């Protein structure tokens, strides 16, 4: 991994920047009023921004310390906390889509719960036999998420007719792919892998 992401502050700034750009494109695309899905995405975008700023400032509230095993300076700690965040956002978006009738989005709920579960087990101070499979399990989950986002990216033209909204959605989906890709790269980092 390049030296840029070796400093977790840079990772935090990148996450915050992705959130800000995503929010900006989401807001400017609200040409026909605000839908409930857009409200959900605004909240998830704000969540990304707040999370990224916390990492960049290394200012962890007391109730979140358990999410950062080994601290905010640790790439492993930030990866585990980030996995909780991505898992939670994935579950929320999946639940919304299922409620709206897109039952195929149930896979997002399962992936989000699995990601939060692997993060929880990996963050536990006591080592168990399950820890041996947490790294490949998390790697597989992030890989499936990345494939899902890429397939969605190339299928967007079937859902949006307005060219401006389509372009905005392309940008936001691309940013979501980047978010997952960063986590995937962190997982492949030798320093992180040895912590599992």
With b for 16 or more beta-carbon neighbours within 10 A and e for fewer, the 19-43 pattern comes to bbebbebbeebeeeeeeeeeebbbe
Going through 47-142 in order, the beta strands assigned E by DSSP cover none
Position 153 scores a pLDDT of 76
Q: How many domains does the chain have?
A: 1
Could you give the C-alpha distances from 33 to 29, 69, 78, 90, 108, in angstroms and in order? 9, 42, 36, 24, 26
Going through 119-179 in order, the beta strands assigned E by DSSP cover none
- Cα 56 to Cα 122: distance, rounded to the nearest angstrom: 23
Position 114 scores a pLDDT of 92
pLDDT by 10s per residue, the chain, length 196: 457 767 888 888 888 888 888 788 778 777 666 677 677 778 888 888 888 888 888 777 666 666 676 667 788 888 888 888 888 888 888 888 777 677 667 888 898 899 988 888 887 777 777 778 888 999 999 888 888 878 877 876 666 656 666 677 777 778 778 878 888 888 888 888 887 7
The domain of 124 spans 3-193
Q: For residue 21, which of 181, 179, 161 has the smallest C-alpha distance?
A: 179
Q: For residue 192, which of 3, 4, 2, 6 has the smallest C-alpha distance?
A: 6
DSSP 28-43: HT-TT---HHHHHHHH
- Rg of the chain, C-alpha, whole Å: 17
């Amino acid at each position: 991994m390049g030296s840029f992401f070796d400093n977790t502050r840079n990772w935090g700034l990148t996450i915050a920047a992705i959130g800000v750009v995503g929010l900006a494109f989401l807001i400017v695309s609200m040409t026909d009023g605000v839908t409930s899905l857009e409200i959900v995405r605004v909240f998830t975008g704000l969540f990304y921004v707040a999370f990224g700023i916390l990492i960049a400032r290394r200012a962890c509230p007391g109730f979140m310390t358990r999410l950062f095993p080994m601290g905010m300076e640790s790439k492993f700690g930030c990866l585990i906390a980030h996995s909780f965040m991505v898992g939670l956002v994935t579950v929320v978006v999946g639940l919304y889509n299922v409620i709206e009738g897109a039952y195929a989005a149930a896979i997002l709920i399962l992936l989000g719960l699995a990601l939060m579960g692997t993060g929880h087990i990996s963050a536990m101070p006591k080592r168990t036999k399950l820890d041996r499979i947490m790294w490949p399990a998390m790697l597989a989950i992030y890989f499936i998420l990345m494939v899902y986002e890429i397939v969605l990216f190339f299928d967007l033209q079937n859902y949006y007719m307005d060219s401006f909204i389509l372009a905005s959605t392309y940008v936001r989906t691309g940013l979501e792919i980047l978010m997952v890709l960063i986590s995937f790269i962190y997982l492949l980092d030798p320093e992180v892998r040895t912590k599992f």
